[in-house]
Amino acid sequence: MIKKIINVFRQLYHLRNISNSIDRQLNYSSWDSFESLKKEITNKKPESLLAFSSKSYSQNDEDGIITEIFNRIGTTNKIFVEFGVGLGLESNSFNLLLRDWKGLWIEGSEKYCKVINKGLSKTIASGQLKLENSFIYKENINSLISKHISEKEIDLLSVDIDGNDYHIWNEINCINPRVVIFEYNAKILPDLNWCMEYDPNYIWDGTDTFGVSLKFLEEKLGKKGYALVCCNLTGVNAFFVRKDLISDNFPAPFTAKNHYMPPRYYFSSMQFGHPASYNILEKRLK
């Protein structure tokens, strides 16, 4: 009996190793496809920010693009605001915290916020990161931000709440971000103006009815002084820079037609290095 049990465990262990090997091969294949696509696009557009696409702690390839944008325009106070962060370990600002930025996370899930408060207790206690557990509406967004951020001009705002993104952003007047990262609905082709109607009770159901098209963002953010400079390869986020900072740092045209990337959500599952943990920030040597 004992020998049979041992053999069963050996077989399970062997199957687990096979499964892990398959997962690794699929991950390598995904990265090969990602790098090949990046090379193909940047060979055609060598000036594109996509040449700097890379993932560290962002969900996709946003980290490298963010870094390059600020390499070109510089920083002021290194303050960010990001809402819709989940657990924060795959956010657009975790990598910035490692670079001594400071800022605010707003997250609606009480469960996620409890995990963040425990995992980043030192970082939060130091004041580097503020965490607000709240659902976001047009009526409360300015008060949620102003509660924690006193500066009018900040370096970065990242918007990703899977639905009412534009309507919430359009209400913000308490800050003047130099760079805005905006989730867009890549299912909507770049010649079409489309925006989901505002619904304060909206919860994304996993279908294509969410957010806003890239063309709509190009026009609406353009009227408020922002230029579209890039979309990430995964087709999730669009990057806007305030027009007074454009100069010759980014090549025109700043249009949806020029920068649109289709939905390549399969790249989101790529693993970069070992699994992320809060300790990379909490236990760093200062």
Task: Kindly report which listed range (91-95, 104-108, 268-272) carries the lowest average pLDDT score.
Answer: 268-272
pLDDT score recorded for residue 62: 97
Pairwise CA distance, residues 83 & 182, whole Å: 11
**Confidence category of residue 285, pLDDT binned at 50, 70, 90:** confident
Q: What is the pLDDT of residue 252?
A: 93
Per the DSSP assignment, residues forming a β-bridge with 182 are 159, 238
pTM here is 0.89
Q: Which of 94, 119, 53, 24 is nearest to 259 (CA)?
A: 53
Q: Is the dihedral of CA 222, 227, 229, 234 positive or negative?
A: negative
Hey, what amino acid is at 198? Y
Asked whether residue 18 carries a pLDDT value surpassing 80, the answer given is no
End-to-end CA distance of the chain: give it in Å, rounded: 56
Report the distance separating Cα 146 and Cα 198, nearest Å.
Answer: 23
Residue 146 pLDDT level (bands cut at 50, 70, 90): very high
How high is the mean pLDDT of the chain? 90
Res. 264 pLDDT band, cuts 50 70 90: very high
219 vs 65: CA distance, rounded Å: 22
Rounded mean pLDDT, 149-156: 98
pLDDT score for 271: 82
Residue in this structure with the two tokens 């399969």, named with its chain if needed: 266
Q: Give the pLDDT confidence of 126-137 residue by residue, as tens digits.
A: 999 999 999 999
d(CA 173, CA 188): 28
Cβ-contact 148, 104 below 8 angstroms: yes
Identify the pLDDT of residue 9.
45
What average pLDDT score do residues 64-84 get? 97
Q: What is the 3-state secondary structure (H, E, C) of 1-34?
A: CHHHHHHHHHHHHHHHHHHHHHHHHHHHHHHHHH
pLDDT of 33 higher than 50: yes
How many helices and strands in the chain, by DSSP H and E?
10, 7
Spatial neighbors of 15 by CB under 8 A, at least 6 apart, are: none
